[in-house]
A and B are shown apart, each in its own frame.
Chain A
Amino acid sequence: MGSTVNQSPGKAEIAAPESRFKGLMKQLIRNKSSLFGGIILIFFLLIALSTVLSQWIPGWNFSLMTHSPTSTDVLNRFAPPSADHWFGTDQNGRDIYSRIIFGTHLTIWIGTSAVLIGAVFGIFFGLLAGYYGKIWDTIIMRAADILLAFPGILLALAIVSALGASMNNVIIALSIYNIPVFARIVRGSVLEVKNIEYVEAIRALGARDGKIIFQHILPNVSSPIIVQASLQIATTILSAAGLSFLGVGVQPPLPEWGAMLNDGRSYMWDNPHLTIFPGIAIVLLVLAFNMLGDGLRDALDPRSKK
């Protein structure tokens, strides 16, 4: 038993939280993948923040948009990229650059909130299944198997088709899609640490389940959760864009990137810029989360060291 502790220092090490955080940051910066991903991500987060703050605080205008994202200009439809319209204009004469800037906070919001909600429920069910085992384990894991039997965006597609197409329904659908993913990971990790000596010792000392779970088990299963969250945000953003592209996700005129691609595809023959720029935005943001996730995994999971 003692040997398991020694073999996986990342899991069982109980260092002061602050120094652990500092150490992690150092490793992330040293790792080229996560450094690059982190920089792109900060860039996108600042864009999103500028839009949100400009909307919320009256008189504050640090928005990076050069035009209104929704105002149309019929005399200036399909303008190619120029000094005035950096990415050109779309079929209604709307400025594509400003629409992409505005869409940034929508995409980040959908991706992070759906993963956060999915993670909270997933962690709860995963802890229940892993810690209490027995009937809880059977019921929860069978339910997870069932939800995971719907491949990829199929489950989200089916849920949104019933609930109706809107941004909130997309978030609900994608949250449900994320729950079993986290439940499985958390359960697996809980089973790994549950029987480590110190947890058993604490239990023997008479600590309550709640205390054991929140103070001792959860911190030790946090690494795989964090890694998965980052990778899962990437997948979720792709799924959300896919739903919008199919016309069952975020609805126009909201400039969600997938919806913009759906708009642009009909005009691709003569005006590819409608399709190219929103696509690049999706790739960059998803890439950022994927690279950050890879870097986090290298830093947090000692088994996957190259």
Chain B
Amino acid sequence: MHIFILRRLLQLIPVLFGVTLVAFLIIQLVPGDVAQVMAGEAASEAQLEQMRENLGLNDPLVVQYGRFLGDLIMFDLGESVRTGQPVMDIIAPRFIITVELALWGMVVAVSVGLFFGILSATYRNTIRDYGTMTLAVVGLSMPNFWLGLLLIYWFSIQLGVLPTSGWGTWQQVIMPAITMGTAGAAVIARMTRSSMLEVIDQDYVRTARAKGVSERFVVYKHAFRNALIPVVTVIGLQFGYFLSGAVLTENVFAINGLGRLVVDAISQRDFPVVQGAVIVLAITFVFVNFLVDIAYRVLNKRIDLN
């Protein structure tokens, strides 16, 4: 097990390197003079030169990347070209909000997804199953930002029971969590259903049934526990999508998280902030996937030993 973890950790290194390289190179995609784009049309030549100097844009690319990496290891993501604040200081408090939002979305996705997935599997090929699975594919097909807008329309504008924006109170959490969690719930419900059906057809479950074990016990003790393994993987993957889904959800509900920061920074052409936020989100995603891999392995092993 330790060897497995160590090997997976070593495999992370090239990916993390690559992530930083991609984020670094993004700025190179900017057509024309980056300094000009960031400083705006009105900037004088002296200001441009100052900006190039500050950002080290005059150095060769390799030197720039080396410095970028060196700073990153010291948790230094550079400074915002707008406010001069260190990017790390801007990102840190917002990152916490985004993770909170993602976790609440997770709560919705997992609870709703598991409930409907189990329901669908236990009532296979009945109207409940079809109804649930139809709902799931619609949930998958709905843009989460549109769902957010609809929720605002119903609960804030029509009923006036929930606030349209902000983050902190429990009332402010409800709609963003539903917005984030719906697509995830749909994916988890579909996955739970299909992995449960796979298990239900297997010999040992049939044996348990034949032994006279109650249906409820069969479903929860045997089918569900084993079906959980692929579901865990999906849940982990979903967390990553929540991080990116936060970009849209935070925008709809005016939540000051990392996602909203990225979009604001893009419109202000504040590339160091964009780079920093993108790197932080991607690295978080990589580590979450790493943890999921370990969890998957642990769960699998337990089953094997049993």
Q: A and B from one assembly?
A: yes
Instruction: Map CB proximity to B onto A142-158 as digits: 1 under 8 Å, 0 otherwise.
Output: 11011101111111011
Instruction: Map CB proximity to A onto B185-210 as digits: 1 under 8 Å, 0 otherwise.
Output: 00000000010010000000000000
Among the stretches A2-10, A108-116, A268-276, the one at the interface with B is: A268-276
Interface centre among A33, A150, A265 (most CB of B within 10 A): A150
Count of chain B residues with a beta carbon within 8 Å of a chain A beta carbon: 48
Residues of A within 8 A of B263 (CB): 157, 246-248
Q: A147-B22, A159-B26 are in contact. Are A283 and B146 (CB under 8 A)?
A: yes
The A-B contact count (CB < 8 A) is: 145
Instruction: Map CB proximity to B onto A80-109 as digits: 1 under 8 Å, 0 otherwise.
Output: 000000000000000000000000000000
Q: Is B212 positioned at the interface, with any CB of A under 8 Å from its CB? A: no
Using CB atoms, name the residue of chain B closest to A261: B146
When chains A and B are docked, how far (Å) is the Cα of A5 from the Cα of B141?
A: 36
Residues of B within 8 A of A246 (CB): 247-248, 251, 263
When chains A and B are docked, how far (Å) is the Cα of A47 from the Cα of B220?
A: 48
B249-296: which residues lie under 8 A (CB-CB) from chain A? 251-252, 262-263, 266-267, 271, 274, 278, 281-282, 285-286
In the complex, are the beta carbons of A161 and B274 less than 8 A apart? Answer: yes
> What does DSSP make chain B's interface, helix, strand, loop or mixed?
helix
When chains A and B are docked, how far (Å) is the Cα of A261 from the Cα of B145?
A: 9
Closest Cβ of chain A: how far from B18's Cβ, in Å?
A: 3
Q: A149-B286, A242-B143, A246-B251 are in contact. Are A154 and B281 (CB under 8 A)?
A: yes
Interface centre among A149, A164, A287 (most CB of B within 10 A): A149
When chains A and B are docked, how far (Å) is the Cα of A290 from the Cα of B187?
A: 12
In the complex, are the beta carbons of B152 and A268 less than 8 A apart? Answer: yes
Residues of B within 8 A of A265 (CB): 149, 252
When chains A and B are docked, how far (Å) is the Cα of A283 from the Cα of B183?
A: 12
Q: Is B92 positioned at the interface, with any CB of A under 8 Å from its CB? A: no
When chains A and B are docked, how far (Å) is the Cα of A33 from the Cα of B277?
A: 40
In the complex, are the beta carbons of A287 and B197 less than 8 A apart? Answer: no
In the complex, are the beta carbons of A159 and B29 less than 8 A apart? Answer: yes
Instruction: Map CB proximity to A onto B16-42 as digits: 1 under 8 Å, 0 otherwise.
Output: 001101110011111100000000000
Q: Is A306 positioned at the interface, with any CB of B under 8 Å from its CB? A: yes
Q: Is A162 positioned at the interface, with any CB of B under 8 Å from its CB? A: yes
Residues of B within 8 A of A247 (CB): 263, 267
When chains A and B are docked, how far (Å) is the Cα of A33 from the Cα of B129?
A: 14
Using CB atoms, name the residue of chain B closest to A272: B153
Count of chain A residues with a beta carbon within 8 Å of a chain B beta carbon: 46
Using CB atoms, name the residue of chain B closest to A161: B266
When chains A and B are docked, how far (Å) is the Cα of A162 from the Cα of B266?
A: 8
Q: Is A78 positioned at the interface, with any CB of B under 8 Å from its CB? A: no
In the complex, are the beta carbons of B146 and A150 less than 8 A apart? Answer: no
Q: A246-B248, A290-B137, A294-B137 are in contact. Are A150 and B282 (CB under 8 A)?
A: yes
9 shortest interchain CB distances as A-B pairs:
A152-B244, A146-B18, A151-B240, A162-B29, A279-B146, A286-B141, A287-B141, A161-B266, A151-B244
- Where the two chains meet, the residues of B that have a C-beta atom closer than 8 Å to any C-beta of A are 14-15, 18-19, 21-23, 26-31, 137-138, 140-143, 145-146, 149-150, 152-153, 157, 194, 197, 240-241, 243-245, 247-248, 251-252, 262-263, 266-267, 271, 274, 278, 281-282, 285-286
- Where the two chains meet, the residues of A that have a C-beta atom closer than 8 Å to any C-beta of B are 33, 142-143, 145-147, 149-155, 157-159, 161-164, 234, 238, 241-242, 245-248, 258, 261, 265, 268-269, 272, 275-276, 279, 282-283, 286-287, 290-291, 294, 304, 306
List 8 A–B pairs whose Cβ atoms lie within 8 Å, in order of A's numbering: A154-B278, A154-B281, A159-B26, A161-B26, A238-B141, A241-B143, A261-B145, A287-B137
